[in-house]
Amino acid sequence: MAYLLIGLLILAIVLGAVTWLTFTLVGFLLTLLVAGVVGWAADAVVPGKLPGGWIGAVLAGIVGGFIGTLALGKIGPTVFDINLIPAFIGSAAIAVVAELAIGSRSRAVR
């Protein structure tokens, strides 16, 4: 009887850990997806291109979300812990800065 209880306890711990890891990993991937879409949308609005393709868009979305939330607060809809309006505004600001910094160098080289 004791072995059965210990086995059930171990099974519950393992299943709980697997469930936590699965939902945490899926949540993380969905957060990256939303950040990428926000960064891509900001890149589409700002003239020029973000360096790094999708990775640059995801990074702009994540960093832009952090900066935008610091500057504007938590306003608007939230999807997977990303406040869409501040993230978009912050990502657009990062895209502008990237275009000014990197775009001017690429035009000077030509």
* Coil, helix or strand at residue 25: helix
Q: Write down the pLDDT at residue 103.
A: 66
Give the global pTM. 0.68
Q: Write down the pLDDT at residue 4.
A: 66
Q: Cα–Cα distance between 51 and 15 in angstroms, integer?
A: 42
Domain extent listing, the chain: 26-109
Q: Write down the pLDDT at residue 23.
A: 67
Q: Cα–Cα distance between 43 and 92 in angstroms, integer?
A: 7
Q: Cα–Cα distance between 68 and 31 in angstroms, integer?
A: 16
The per-residue pLDDT string of the chain (110 residues; one tens digit each, 9 = 90 and over) reads: 666 667 766 767 777 766 666 667 777 888 888 888 888 888 888 887 777 777 888 888 888 888 888 888 888 888 877 788 998 999 898 888 888 887 654 554 55
Question: Which of 42, 44, 34, 49 has its CA nearest to residue 82?
Answer: 34
